[in-house]
Structure 1
């Protein structure tokens, strides 16, 4: 991801924008994980953070910005705090300053160990917006304004507290952990709008909270760096931080740099045309090999969703088949850098017949399809499914941990039963005709 106002002249300064480190955060949504991978994932957020430090040193950055959620909780672990401090000390030794705001996961009122921070580390206050000036070679190059969360649940539009940039001021950077616009799927902490941010006349807004890296605007730059390490299948693909270069005229270039050590991948694989188990295994292994080739030495955790129509459907639904196949592919994973570990196989395939064509037949099969269509078209028909499922959902100790089905799930159960019945009927009809 690269965005540029104008062609660059001599670089005036460089900074790295990161956010949402979530150090010591657990990974979610995994089953059957082996001990070696578990250890790798436990260290993944720290590995990504160390990669950010390495990047700052490699790029000879003038400073690092961290826009909130350094830790995963207000009562962060001592281990996470010590590891964070180690990185800051490395930056200090390299002459690189660090500017920090805290967010909803690590508000200032949470517990913190009494540690000694390097003198060129600035943590912004949680009561008011603070502005600090940055100089280089005796000349002021930027003003950085920021504000931390004092407590977790910040509903105020904090952007309104930031003072506008003066016409004679140097390059202005704002730091905030916030929600710009609707940001579907994210709790609206410190909600604001693009208009609010633009009205400050700042040159660059370094934002945190949204984990997907994105450049929202380029005039001025309004940027989410995203989180540097994906933690579940909902955080797919490259994760990293932004390297920002500013030339002597204030022209800005923003480059996204991946720093993750473990990457999540969800892929769809088609079984159309496949007739044997060996063919299925081959396409899965080939896709895993390709993921390894493009991983850049990272560990990849993948989930494959099988789709399409094939007679293999009859094999896929056999009890234990997918579980055994997953275990076989895991056993062949040596867990070296670049390894691909199969987290799950999901069966979204269909039997080798087209439902639409069967509806045109004037026989028992088309009547059956009409009946299931009628059942699925109204709530009364769908709720009738609850009676035969009462043994599962209405009785016994397990009922307390099972969620009742909604209409969409009821319809899926009916359609699955329909497909299984149709397959049996069609196979029997073909057998009689032959």
Structure 2
């Protein structure tokens, strides 16, 4: 008899700031939980970055609690590992709250006397599937943990085995990033490798590693995700059927909205020409009840980037019925006026560009503080400092918690 499980990753609950996108984020998640219950899946895997922050605001926690309670009441266990966003090195994570409440089950890892890392299997009581995993424990440091993983007990275990992980596999990346790792660092011989971190759905096979699968992000957890959705990239999760081996892997599309992508090449143009081109394009297409992504790139020949009134463009699109408007202009510059750090693009794009421009100018001996890993670490620290102070926490306790988290992320000994 076939049994089945659902595999999610990179849901990034709490990422969106506008009310319209918050509603779509909630719809995508609740619709997916509906599908898991209606399809009678036997269990659910959540492979990191369920939340965009390790302590999201109460609105997000309440909504998530309601949905995981529905799975619990339906007798569907949820097995989870941390991602790089919902993990804190001092263990202040809402994931731990859900585990303590019994709504999630987290595979356990232990430090061995040898200095290696040992992982215990959890056997799902209904299906007999054996589950182990290692989350995205520290920004850019996944390779270190996998290199010290005690592999023999994992590889010699019999039965239908699933390995949960959160990290990029270099063989599955378009470009080789500093935070990726080769598939060979995963333990061999598992029936299914449930991945998270990469936001596009992929299912690959390698020698000794069958079914290395990323479901991709459920809606959006990065500034580029919606643009990729507008280009046709699918969003959703996967449902896997198995007995002693994997029998089928079905990608479940989760449609949330329609998109319009408007691309404007400003290279060697005047600011007036760019303004006119944007106006022509937005008046010639229907944007009603759609999320609009406007991407502007190139270097103006004459005029300043601020001469293009993007605020008015955004308002016109909203007046025409757009659900929301996202403007990407990080690569939009001007010969006439170009200052490093000039605000351009979404807030996340500006932050990344600022970190990239400044980190590459300094020299350090610690690899995790420079390059792509340094940028990712800087983003993580910035995200940590944005966590709001709860009403019942003193200012001193809040400051100590945030500073301890930042110090731990930077691996400082103070």
- Which of 269, 292, 296 is matched with 1:301 structurally? 292
Shift of 1:250: 2.1
Secondary structure at the aligned position of 1:256 is classed as strand
Q: Is the 8 A contact 2:240 2:249 kept in 1?
A: yes
Query: Number of matched residues?
Result: 315
Aligned partner of 1:14 among 4, 24, 27:
4
Q: Return closer, same or farther for 1:124/1:45 CA change in 2, 3 Å cut-off.
A: farther
The residue that corresponds to 1:154 in the other structure is: 141
Check the 8 A contact 1:245/1:254 in 2, yes or no: yes
User: Which of the numbers 254, 265, 274 marks the counterpart of 2:249?
Assistant: 254
TM-score, normalised with respect to structure 2: 0.60
Residue 189 (structure 2) pairs with residue 206 (structure 1): no
Aligned partner of 2:132 in structure 1 is 145
**Following the alignment from structure 1 to structure 2, what is the Cα–Cα distance between the partners of residues 177 and 261?**
25
1:223 aligns with 2:213: yes
Distance (Å, rounded) in 1 between the aligned partners of 2:165 and 2:238:
17
| Structure 2 residue aligned with 1:32 | none
Which of 143, 146, 159 is the equivalent residue of 1:170?
159
Task: Answer whether contact 2:28 2:255 (CA < 8 A) is retained.
Answer: yes
- 1:92 aligns with 72
Q: Secondary structure at the match of 2:252?
A: strand
1:234 corresponds to 2:229: no
- Tell me how far 1:306 sits from its aligned partner: 9.3
Shift of 1:20: 1.7
Deviation at 1:72, TM superposition (A): 2.1
2:309 and 2:68 map into 1 onto residues whose CA distance is 50
Alpha-carbon distance in 2 for matches of 1:122, 1:25: 24
Q: Is the 8 A contact 1:229 1:262 kept in 2?
A: no
SS at match of 1:96: coil
Deviation at 1:77, TM superposition (A): 3.5
Whose Rg is larger? 1
Q: CA-atom RMSD, angstroms?
A: 4.6
Structure 2 segments unaligned to the other structure (5+ residues): 111-117, 267-272, 341-352, 358-414
Contact persistence 2:292–2:324 (CA under 8 A): yes
Moved more, 116-125 or 228-237: 116-125
SS of residue matched to 1:217:
strand
TM-score (norm 1): 0.58
CA distance in 1, matches of 2:4, 2:15: 29
Contact 1:126/1:148 (<8 A) preserved: no
Shift in Å, 1:269? 7.0
SS at match of 1:17: strand
Gaps of 5+ in 1: 1-10, 28-37, 308-312, 349-384, 394-401, 407-434
Secondary structure of 1:211 counterpart:
coil
Q: Does 1:124 align with 2:112?
A: no
Distance 2:255 2:109 in 1: 30
1:329-388 per-position Cα deviation (integer Å, ceiling 9, x unaligned): 33111x5xxx4747479999xxxxxxxxxxxxxxxxxxxxxxxxxxxxxxxxxxxx9xx9
